[in-house]
Every structure is written in C-alpha cells, then in structure tokens.
Amino acid sequence: MLRVLAHRLGQAVATAIALATLCFAAIHALPGDLSLQVAAARVGDERVTRETADRIRREERLDAPLALQYARWMAGIARGELGRSLVSGRPVAEELAYHARYTIQLGAAGWLLSYLFALPLGLLAGFQPGGWLDRAADGLAVVLASLPSFLVGIGLVTVFALGLRLLPPAGFRTGAHMVLPALTLALSLAAFSIPVVRDAVVETRAAFFLTFARMKGLGAAAAFLHHGARNAAIPVVTFAALQFALVIDGFVVIETLFNYPGLGDLLVKSLVARDVPVIMGAGLLVGLSFAMVNLAADMLCLWLDPRRRRETKP
C-alpha cells in the first residue's frame, strides 16, 4: 500500500518537473521574439512598438541567460511562486484559482450527470445481454465515442440553444450556462462508462458463484444483492474514479466551445497569447491534479478489492 503511494507521488513530482521543463524549453526554443509576442497579446497587435517590447523585456527579465531563467523558474515553482501573467499582470496563482473553480464545478457536474445516465442504462442493458436495450445502449455508446466532444457540444447547441431556444449557448452568467457544457461532458464520458457498467453486470451475472448462491437457497434478487452488486461495483468504481481524471481531456475543448471561463479556456487562450507563466502554471496544475486523482483512485481500488491488497507490485 505504501509502495503504491510512494510510486504515485514520485510520478506526480516527475510529471511536474518534466512539464515545467518541457514548457520552458519549448517557449524559449521558438522562433520570433518573445517580448514582441507578449506585447502584442497585451496591448493588441496594432499598438505594439519597440519601446513596449523593450519595456516588457526588461520587466519580465526575458534578456537573462537561459540557464538562469530556468533555474529561477524551477526555484520559483518549488517555492510555490508561479509568477505573474504576462498578459493580465495578475499573479498566476490567482488566475488559476479563479478559473479552476469553474472547471471543478463543470467537471463534477458533468461526471455526476454521466453516471446518472450510464448506471441505470448499463444495469438494464446488462440484465438482458443481447436484448434490444443492450444493442441500443451499445449503439449509443459507439456513436458517442465516435464524436469528439466539441461535435457533441455543437449538436447540443444547435438543438437546444438555436433550435429550441431553451438554453444560453455560451459564456457564463447564470447557472443555466453550465447546463449545456455539463451535458456535453456527460455524454462524452458516458460513451465509455456505459459499456463498462454493462460489461461488469454481464460478467458478474454469468459468474458461477452467483448461480451457486441460488443453489444455497438465496432468491435471485438476494443473490445479486449480496454477491453480485459488490463484485460488479469494483470495475465500475475503479473506472469512474479514473475517468474523473480523464475529464481533463474533455474540458479543454468544451470550455473553449462554450466560452466557459475555466482552466481549459485559460490554457488555450494563454497558449495562443504565449503567456508563459500562465501556460506553465495551468499545465502544472492539470498534470498534478491528474496524478493526484489517479492516486486517489488507486487508494479507492485498494480499499474496495481485498485481492489488490495482497498484490506485491503497484
């Protein structure tokens, strides 16, 4: 157990270092003058002048030798200082905190919604493998899995916002603004969770110990309740926990599509604007969160499945 913990923590640290180094190397290896690009992002393309660029270069100390900048950057991260946004001037940590809140809300809502949808569907499909519901659910899952999340989003916007005029298409002012992004995320996640739930149910129901439980005298419902549910839950919960980490793949695109002011939106905008500190900060935060959620998922699995506790390798 401790070994898994240490392993995952080590992974998180290695991820952070690699990410930070990667960003740093990429930024500074790019052609073009960094200070010009930042200036353009800050004041607009038309109003960039030599003086503005020079000023920015001095302020952000972009003229120091590369190794020094790297050392400074890594040291800063270690201390928790992420610098200031080159575009807005605000501390990166502040920007991150502001946007992260929205992302967490969206991620949690989308994830919960997807299971609200996938669990009953997967259960019912699993109880009648090969039946019409099973085939329909499978078809739905394949279709959803073949649609990148932004296409799902566009579809939903077309239907609900433009067609039916029920919900606002973009931005964020009211809670209603979160519905479509969350729904989009939910559908993208459900594409994978529906088959997982369904397979878990089918495999468990086919297990001989369930038949044997009925031989011992338990009714079919009681047998599934006592033996089936717990065994089926393991792969499902495992996957659900991990999927929370995979939410990251989806939210970047979805937030951009809906102009939803979360971390993904911030990341994309700062990539376009070459806002180095924010890129690195956001990238680090995402990478670390991913590692942390994986760790939590691992711990959850270990707790749920006594077989995992006996395994010697992580």
- Residues 55-114 binding other proteins (CB under 8 A) are none
- The DSSP-derived string for 183-239 is HHHHHHHHHHHHHHHHHHHHHHHH-HHHHHHHHTT--HHHHIIIIIHHHHHHHHHHH
Shortest distance in whole angstroms from residue 217 CB to other proteins = 4
Residue 91, beta-bridge partner list: 84
The radius of gyration computed from the CA coordinates of the chain, to the nearest angstrom, equals 24
- Give the one residue of 44, 89, 175, 306 binding other proteins; rule: CB under 8 A: 306
Among 36, 104, 179, 234, binds other proteins (CB under 8 A): 234
Residue 13 or 58: which CB sits closer to other proteins? 13
Strand partners, 84: 91
Q: What is the distance, to the nearest Å, from the Cα of residue 276 to the centroid of all Cα atoms in its chain?
A: 21
The yes or no reply on residue 11 touching other proteins (CB under 8 A) is: yes
**Helix spans in the chain (H):** 2-29, 34-43, 50-59, 66-79, 92-127, 132-145, 149-156, 176-206, 208-215, 220-223, 229-258, 263-273, 276-304, 306-309
Q: Which of 80, 175, 217, 221 binds other proteins (CB under 8 A)?
A: 217
Q: State yes or no: residue 245 binds other proteins (CB under 8 A).
A: yes
Q: Which residues within the stretch 155-194 sit at the binding site for other proteins (CB under 8 A)?
A: 157-158, 162, 192
φ/ψ (deg, to 5) at 84:
-120, 150
Member of 53, 82, 291, 297 binding other proteins (CB under 8 A): 291
Cβ closest to other proteins, residue 49 vs residue 148: 148
- Residue of 4, 27, 124, 237 that binds other proteins (CB under 8 A): 27
Q: What distances in angstroms separate CA 263 from CA 96, 241, 253, 259, 293, one per listed residue? A: 7, 20, 11, 11, 17
Of 28-57, which residues contact other proteins (CB under 8 A)? 30
By beta-carbon proximity to other proteins, the closer residue of 56 and 263 is 263
Distance CA 76, CA 71 (A): 8
Work out whether 214 is an interface residue with other proteins (CB under 8 A). yes
Whether the Cβ atoms of residue 138 and residue 125 lie closer than 8 Å to each other: yes
Whose Cβ is closer to other proteins: residue 4's or residue 54's?
4
Binding string to other proteins for residues 126 to 155, with x set by CB under 8 A, is what? ---xx---x---x--xxx-xxxxxxx--x-
Minimum distance of other proteins from residue 216's CB (angstroms):
4
CA distances from 105 to 116, 251, 252 (A): 16, 11, 14
Query: Residue 219 CB, nearest distance to other proteins (Å)?
Result: 11
240 is a site residue for other proteins (CB under 8 A): no
User: In angstroms, what is the minimal distance from the CB of 51 to other proteins?
Assistant: 26
Least CB distance to other proteins at residue 11 (A): 5
The gap from C-alpha 25 to its chain's centroid, in whole angstroms, comes to: 25
Coil/strand/helix, residue 175? coil
For other proteins, which stretch binds (CB under 8 A), given 22-30, 38-46, 57-65, 66-74? Answer: 22-30
Q: Does 118 bind other proteins (CB under 8 A)?
A: no
